[in-house]
C-alpha cells in the first residue's frame, strides 16, 4: 500500500529507497495539510452560506399600495 501511495504522490525521487521514503513522508505531510485546509475553507463557506440573504419588508404607502422592499437597500429616515 505504501508503494502505491508513493507513486500516487508523484515520481519516486532520491538516491536510494530510504531517501525516496523520506521524500514521500514530506509529500504526505503536505497532502494532509492541503486536505485539512480545504476542509476548513469548505466548512466556513457552509457555515456562512445565508449570511447575506436579503429579507423583504412590506411597505404601505399613503394611498394604500403595498410594496415589498429589500431591507438591505432601505435608507434610514432622518
Note the pLDDT tens digit of each residue in 9-64: 888 788 888 888 898 999 999 999 999 999 999 999 888 777 666 666 777 777 77
73, pLDDT greater than 60:
no
| Three-state DSSP class for residue 43 | helix
C-alpha cell at 9: 504522490
Give the DSSP H/E element, type plus range, for residue 59.
Answer: strand 56-60
What's this model's pTM, rounded to 2 decimal places? 0.58
pLDDT band of 74, cuts 50, 70, 90: very low
In sign, the C-alpha dihedral spanning 20, 26, 28, 31 is negative
Amino acid at each position: 500500500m505504501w508503494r502505491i501511495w508513493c507513486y500516487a504522490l508523484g515520481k519516486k525521487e532520491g538516491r536510494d529507497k530510504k531517501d525516496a521514503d523520506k521524500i514521500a513522508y514530506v509529500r504526505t505531510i503536505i497532502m494532509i495539510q492541503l486536505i485539512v485546509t480545504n476542509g476548513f475553507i469548505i466548512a466556513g463557506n457552509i457555515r456562512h452560506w445565508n449570511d447575506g440573504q436579503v429579507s423583504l419588508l412590506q411597505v404601505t404607502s399613503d394611498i394604500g399600495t403595498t410594496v415589498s422592499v429589500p431591507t438591505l437597500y432601505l435608507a434610514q429616515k432622518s
